[in-house]
A and B are shown apart, each in its own frame.
Chain A
Amino acid sequence: MAALLRGLRVGRALRGFGSGEPRLATCPQCNGLRRGFHCAALRLQEDKDKSIPVPPSSAASSTTTYHEHYQAHPSKNNTATHMQEAPAPEAGAKEAPQPNTSYADQSGEQGEEYETEEQLQAHILNAALDFVQLHGWTLEAISAGAETLGLSAASSGMFQNGAGDLVLHFIAQCNAQLTEQMAEQHNQVQLGQAEPKKTAEFLRDAVETRLRMLTPYMDNWPQAMSILLLPHNIPDSLKHLSTLVDDIWYYAGDRSTDLNWYTKRAALTGIYNTTELVMIQDSSEDFQDTWNFLENRIQDIVNMAGAAKQAASTGEAVAQGLLGAAVTLKNLTGINQRR
């Protein structure tokens, strides 16, 4: 029975895999351990008298596909390149932590019926966020969160990365929220229901919105930042940061395809990081100092861009002037007349 359940769960995990959830890039052995805890957590749930439809044929086929999946890790790279070519924005990948409702409908959503391992983890981490103020960004918070869902505290063992998982989940969630808001604004502008904002204003609003999502956790945020700087978390946190900045520029209207693409994103990354640091030690009313700092930094960038443009046009004017002088000289000395 447990094996059948396991097969069903991981089969649905495979189908819910969709467009490349980074979390599943761990080794199969670790996943075995996680599934062990997962099953322990699930047995607690079974006591709650839920009937889970188990079609035997799908369980059998899903176990085989599960094995295929774990032997074919390179296929993830293919989906990554598909992501680049398909018109879907990259922000779509960030929506993965949210529940896959199409499968939930199949078996009837009854309170805590979880379809996939990721959804279960996402639910636990969401619940754990409430305990961050109490326990900080730690496994205790995750355990406390798991307990509120009726699972045993040991299910925090599902998270190989511990507090890192919690922080990364939180950032992913914040980024997804921000992207949703920006997409919504974008739609409204397209429908003509709202005025498009100027770039500087848009950037400021976007960064402010995103940083305001941190305010409930501001006391423990330095701890979260240091967790993100741990070597094994750096690739993930950098990826989240770069996707965030790319999304913000995209919705700000940037469509550049030359070196500006890089300079703009680098500039915004700098602004975001420094503003975050300022925010941590800001004790003013409603973080007003932080927003002032942000405003000034964005103004700097705008000024620099303006100055760069001016320098370029000055350079062009000077070059043309020189060319004109050269031609005049050639005329005067009669070189041109030898043609």
Chain B
Amino acid sequence: MLRVDHAGEYGANRIYAGQMAVLGRSQTGQLIQEMWDQEKKHLAKFNEILAENRVRPTLLLPLWNVAGFLLGAGTALLGKEGAMACTVAVEESISEHYNSQIRALMEEDPDRYVELLKLIKEFRDDEMEHHDTGLEHDAESLPGYKVLKGAIQLGCTAAIFVSQRL
């Protein structure tokens, strides 16, 4: 479970890196940089947790490295709306994933996982914020928004599935 979260944050990091690489010097650069910094913080926190609990990181990290960067850069090439649409799609997937984890933890033993629950809730709120920011910045005005969003979310689901096992 922690492995998937770690992989997710790692991937998100790389996506923003890709977006920055293309849009870094434009007006949205500032915005993307902010969101990226928050993701970096999330990743650092998960690195800590992984090490503490001696969880194995996913073997597919190099894959997520490249795939995330390409996704970020690719959508950024579609312009600001593309980057925002990608953000919206990914953040929505991640928020959903965190929500289901919160549900699972609450079902099992809320007292034991108090710290973890607090952390995941905080991260989920941050991700929702990113999602809303993306929407505010005209994500939906991208032609083919629905298609792109669907495709990205499908990819995210697949990534989560695989990272849980590998």
A interface residue numbers (CB < 8 A to B) = 81, 84-87, 89-90, 246, 250, 255-259, 261-262
| A65 → chain B closest CB, angstroms | 20
Q: What residues on A are CB-neighbors of B113 within 8 Å?
A: 85
| B100 → chain A closest CB, angstroms | 15
- The answer to whether A257 touches B51, judged by C-beta atoms less than 8 angstroms apart, is yes
- The answer to whether A259 touches B62, judged by C-beta atoms less than 8 angstroms apart, is yes
User: Across chains A and B, which 5 residue pairs bring their CB atoms closest together, nearest first?
Assistant: A255-B51, A257-B50, A257-B47, A257-B57, A261-B57
Interface residues of B toward A: which range?
Answer: 10 to 19
- The answer to whether B53 touches A87, judged by C-beta atoms less than 8 angstroms apart, is yes
Q: What residues on A are CB-neighbors of B116 within 8 Å?
A: 85
Give the complex CA separation of A258 and B58 in angstroms: 8
Q: What residues on B are CB-neighbors of A259 within 8 Å?
A: 57, 59, 61-62
The interface bits of chain B over 126-141 (1 if a CB of A lies within 8 angstroms of the residue's CB, else 0) are: 0000000000000000
Give the complex CA separation of A262 and B59 in angstroms: 8
- The answer to whether B53 touches A261, judged by C-beta atoms less than 8 angstroms apart, is no
Does B165 belong to the interface (CB within 8 Å)?
A: no
Give the complex CA separation of A301 and B106 in angstroms: 45
- The answer to whether A84 touches B55, judged by C-beta atoms less than 8 angstroms apart, is yes
| A105 → chain B closest CB, angstroms | 27
| B111 → chain A closest CB, angstroms | 13
| A94 → chain B closest CB, angstroms | 13
Q: What residues on A are CB-neighbors of B6 within 8 Å?
A: 257
Q: Which residue of B lies closest to A255 (CB)?
A: B51
23 examples of A-B residue contacts, CB within 8 angstroms: A81-B1, A84-B55, A85-B1, A85-B2, A85-B113, A87-B53, A89-B54, A90-B54, A246-B54, A250-B54, A255-B51, A256-B57, A257-B6, A257-B46, A257-B47, A257-B50, A257-B51, A257-B57, A258-B57, A259-B61, A261-B56, A261-B57, A262-B59
| B36 → chain A closest CB, angstroms | 19
Q: What residues on B are CB-neighbors of A90 within 8 Å?
A: 54
| B115 → chain A closest CB, angstroms | 10
Give the complex CA separation of A258 and B56 in angstroms: 9
Choice from B1, B47, B51 contacting A84 with Cβ under 8 Å: B1
| A242 → chain B closest CB, angstroms | 10
Give the complex CA separation of A90 and B53 in angstroms: 9
Q: What residues on B are CB-neighbors of A85 within 8 Å?
A: 1-2, 53, 55, 113, 116
B interface residue numbers (CB < 8 A to A) = 1-2, 6, 46-47, 50-57, 59, 61-62, 113, 116
| A191 → chain B closest CB, angstroms | 20
Give the complex CA separation of A258 and B64 in angstroms: 11
Q: What residues on B are CB-neighbors of A262 within 8 Å?
A: 59
Give the complex CA separation of A86 and B113 in angstroms: 9
Give the complex CA separation of A38 and B45 in angstroms: 50
Give the complex CA separation of A13 and B34 in angstroms: 55
Q: What residues on A are CB-neighbors of B56 within 8 Å?
A: 261
Given the contacts A85-B53, A87-B52, A90-B54, A258 and B61 also touching, CB distance less than 8 Å: yes
Given the contacts A257-B57, A259-B62, A261-B57, A84 and B2 also touching, CB distance less than 8 Å: yes
Give the complex CA separation of A250 and B57 in angstroms: 14
Q: Which residue of B lies closest to A242 (CB)?
A: B56
Give the complex CA separation of A246 and B54 in angstroms: 9
Give the complex CA separation of A109 and B46 in angstroms: 46
Q: What residues on B are CB-neighbors of A84 within 8 Å?
A: 1-2, 53-55
Give the complex CA separation of A86 and B52 in angstroms: 9
Using A84-B53, A87-B53 as known contacts, list a sample of 5 further A-B pairs with CB atoms less than 8 Å apart, ordered by residue number in A.
A85-B1, A85-B53, A86-B53, A255-B51, A257-B57
Give the complex CA separation of A246 and B113 in angstroms: 25
Name the residue in A85, A89, A246 with the highest tally of chain B Cβ atoms < 10 Å from its Cβ. A85
Give the complex CA separation of A262 and B56 in angstroms: 9
Give the complex CA separation of A250 and B55 in angstroms: 11
Give the complex CA separation of A89 and B116 in angstroms: 17
| B13 → chain A closest CB, angstroms | 12
Q: Which residue of B lies closest to A247 (CB)?
A: B54
Give the complex CA separation of A86 and B46 in angstroms: 15
Q: Which residue of A lies closest to B47 (CB)?
A: A257
Give the complex CA separation of A255 and B51 in angstroms: 5
Give the complex CA separation of A106 and B1 in angstroms: 38
Give the complex CA separation of A248 and B1 in angstroms: 24
Q: What residues on B are CB-neighbors of A81 within 8 Å?
A: 1
Q: Which residue of A lies closest to B105 (CB)?
A: A85
| B85 → chain A closest CB, angstroms | 29
| B165 → chain A closest CB, angstroms | 12
Q: What residues on B are CB-neighbors of A89 within 8 Å?
A: 54
Q: What residues on A are CB-neighbors of B50 within 8 Å?
A: 257
Q: Which residue of A lies closest to B116 (CB)?
A: A85
